[in-house]
A = this chain, B = another copy of it.
Amino acid sequence: MSQKLNAALLGASGYTGADLMRLGALHPNIQFTVLTANTHAGKPVDEVFPHLGGVDLPQLQRAEGVDWSVLDVVFCGLPHATSQQIVSEIVKLTDKPKIIDMSADFRLRDPEHYKTWYGNAHVDPTLQDIAAYGLTEHNRQAIREKRIIACPGCYPTAVLLALLPLAKAQLINVDALIVDAKSGVTGAGRGLKQNTLAAEAGESISPYAVGAHRHTAELEQEIGAVAGKTIKVNFTPHLIPMSRGELITAHVELEKGKSVNDLRAALESTYEDEPFVRVLAQGKMPSTGMVRGSNTCVINVFEDRIPGRAVVIAALDNLVKGSAGQAVQNFNVAFGLEETTGLSQLPMFP
């Protein structure tokens, strides 16, 4: 397909918005005709993102007054809660655009879970019927069929790519998953917060939301679904002094008689034909530097010194595979395009 699809991006002034513009501006099938950023309405994009100067993009505008019915796709980079409201309106007004949401608002199938973890009631729980959990490699059918695609959180993308095949193959004890995660500061967004000031985040590592991070809900939902039961997961994120990149270290208990080789085999067979997931050769260490700026997730599995356990490690760029890149990948799937379209950029190192 060489046709340009008519695209809107809501929330163009945030970091995921920026990376979606970076990728979308060069995508042969995406034509941005609407970019919203309410507090910056009326400005050219390069007022809020100088690196996009010289790129042919429409001016920023408010979301009010957009004619949704002429759009093919709406990428949504708004904060949670805001996302539900605007998507709910769009769905009521028109059957037209497919919605690819990068917020948390449609990820949790059970509205009660949404309320528990996000603090506000779901605006319209019936929308979950038309929403797919957009972990591309594991959910293409639904991504093609559903109106709303809820792109997973950045952390869950890495964790689920690493652990879902192992849970599906019943190789690991899903009741004892310990996920120690590390993220650069862009994971915290562009909002002004003291802990992401360069002087505070620099030269320091801090754990945060220990035992209480919202992404835990996605992990429990998706791994629980595969395992056919309710589970609780240890998810322990840390903020580290870099901009992009997330690495998760999953400490897992093997099911009886299973070995690290079984884990490796399950990962390799799941991903052997996948363009964006790479299981590394034995002994090779995943690192975020290997994937910076690209849509690739790298995974490897290691022996634990404690018998009967293993360590599974995955790394990705939180703004690409963990957000805007996966959104574009889902767009490609949803519209029947070659899945790698517009996502061929190689990682930038150093």
A residues in contact (CB < 8 Å) with B = 15, 18, 22, 25-26, 49-55, 175-176, 178, 180, 182, 184-186, 190, 192-194, 196-208, 210-212, 216, 232-236, 238, 240-245, 247, 249, 251, 278, 280, 284-294, 296, 298, 302-307, 309, 311, 313, 315, 344-350
12 A–B contacts, CB within 8 A, in A order:
A15-B199, A52-B347, A54-B296, A184-B203, A185-B202, A203-B243, A203-B244, A205-B288, A211-B303, A232-B307, A238-B249, A293-B348
CB neighbours (8 Å) of A243 from chain B are: 198-199, 202-203, 350
On whether A232 and B186 interact (CB within 8 A), knowing A197-B192, A290-B50, the answer reads no
CB neighbours (8 Å) of A198 from chain B are: 185, 196-198, 200-202, 241, 243
CB neighbours (8 Å) of A313 from chain B are: 207, 210
B206 and A287 form a contact (CB under 8 A):
yes
Task: Tell me the minimal C-beta distance from A114 to chain B in angstroms.
Answer: 18
Task: Tell me the minimal C-beta distance from A343 to chain B in angstroms.
Answer: 11
CB neighbours (8 Å) of A52 from chain B are: 346-347
A278 and B235 form a contact (CB under 8 A):
no
CB neighbours (8 Å) of A289 from chain B are: 50-51, 200, 203-206
Task: Tell me the minimal C-beta distance from A313 to chain B in angstroms.
Answer: 6
Q: Of B182, B197, B296, which one neighbours A197 at CB under 8 angstroms? A: B197
Interface centre among A216, A234, A313 (most CB of B within 10 A): A234
Task: Tell me the minimal C-beta distance from A335 to chain B in angstroms.
Answer: 22
CB neighbours (8 Å) of A180 from chain B are: 180, 236, 249, 251
A-B contact sample (12 more), CB < 8 A, given A205-B247, A236-B251: A50-B284, A51-B292, A51-B347, A180-B180, A185-B202, A186-B199, A202-B202, A205-B288, A210-B313, A234-B306, A234-B311, A241-B241
CB neighbours (8 Å) of A216 from chain B are: 305
Q: Of B49, B51, B302, which one neighbours A211 at CB under 8 angstroms? A: B302
Task: Tell me the minimal C-beta distance from A172 to chain B in angstroms.
Answer: 14
A25 and B346 form a contact (CB under 8 A):
yes
* Bound: A50/B192 CA distance, A: 20
On whether A245 and B204 interact (CB within 8 A), knowing A55-B346, A311-B211, the answer reads yes
In the complex, residue of chain B having the shortest beta-carbon distance to the beta carbon of A53: B278
Interface centre among A25, A290, A307 (most CB of B within 10 A): A290
Task: Tell me the minimal C-beta distance from A1 to chain B in angstroms.
Answer: 19
* Bound: A205/B240 CA distance, A: 9
* Bound: A178/B310 CA distance, A: 11
A193 and B190 form a contact (CB under 8 A):
no
B192 and A242 form a contact (CB under 8 A):
no
CB neighbours (8 Å) of A233 from chain B are: 305-306
Task: Tell me the minimal C-beta distance from A146 to chain B in angstroms.
Answer: 30
* Bound: A240/B203 CA distance, A: 9
* Bound: A175/B306 CA distance, A: 8
* Bound: A313/B344 CA distance, A: 33
